[in-house]
Structure 1
């Protein structure tokens, strides 16, 4: 369902501070394994993310960062990041192009209005236009139903994470 109050567009350098603030809903103050544990952790990931965004917002063919902007106010209400990896071919992915969805986040007071769905639909079209047939994401329990309605299936594989100490 297209939201008449919303425009989904590629994010720009001008969106950078807002993208960092939105991602903080996922990375600061949660119990997730990837969440920052201290104020110092939060400061470090924010600086590293700003640098990463700056280098990818304008010139990366294998990274897409979308912003959901309120048509009237111009406020960015949500965002999503897509990354295309080249992997070894497999039965479900013969060309080896694998998509990764990261940081689907909507401003809390705007959740439940179809914004994340619209962001994901745009992203899935972007992947399809690039020949990416296999797309993976890590989900919270609350968002799992949305992704399943978009064709994602729960995997029987375990997600194992090995994190090195921050440099």
Structure 2
């Protein structure tokens, strides 16, 4: 099957269960620092994500959640989220609008069909339409080639993460 068999569109409330299941490929059963460590963790993020999606889909101009839908079966085979933040201006980003891409996921049975590339191209056009000059994402070793082909490059800076309650 080729990438012409999929349509990229804005996610809707009807896609929430698909989005949760797709995101589970990132958050359940992986070794990532942000991944679930127990069934309780999994249930917590699933509930929180469901509420977040319900509150943000089609509501906020600064959030874009996309799905790739199979043209014949209507199965949602992939998704990606873009978020626009306002940060302090820099020389490379005078308006301060910064993009963040997260949860780029393709169902394993549909990988290597160009779906992630389609999703990313849509998100990059969306950011461009909002005059977002800087877009960041966190990647895995397996996906870094895709992002580098799309113009992303390592910054040489370390990503530090603090999780948990404030001190």
TM-score, scaled relative to structure 1: 0.97
Which residue of structure 1 lines up, in the alignment, with residue 81 of structure 2? Answer: 81
Structure 2 distance, partners of 1:146, 1:100, is: 16
Match of 1:55 in 2: 55
Identify the residue that residue 156 of structure 1 maps to in structure 2: 156
1:111 aligns with 2:123: no
The 1-side partners of 2:38 and 2:3 are apart by 37
Distance 2:64 2:36 in 1: 24
Secondary structure of 2:164's counterpart equals coil
Three-state SS of the structure 2 residue aligned to 1:79 is strand
Structure 1: which 4+ aligned runs deviate by more than 4 Å? none
Aligned length: 164
Cα-to-partner distance string for 1:111-165 (whole Å, 9 max, x where unaligned)? 0110000000000000000000100000000000000000000110000000015
DSSP-derived class of the 2:4 partner: coil
Q: Secondary structure of the residue that 1:24 maps to in structure 2?
A: helix
How far did 1:93 drift?
A: 0.7
Structure 2 equivalent of residue 14 of structure 1: 14
Q: Name the residue aligned to 1:69.
A: 69
CA RMSD of aligned residues (A): 0.9
Q: Which residue number corresponds to residue 4 of structure 1?
A: 4
CA drift at 1:3: 2.3
The alpha carbon displacement at 1:106 in A equals 0.1
Which segments of 5 or more consecutive residues in structure 1 lack a partner in the other structure?
Answer: none
Could you state the TM-score of these two structures normalised by the residue count of structure 2?
Answer: 0.97
For structure 2, the 5+ residue unaligned runs are none
Distance in 2, matches of 1:157 and 1:118, equals 28
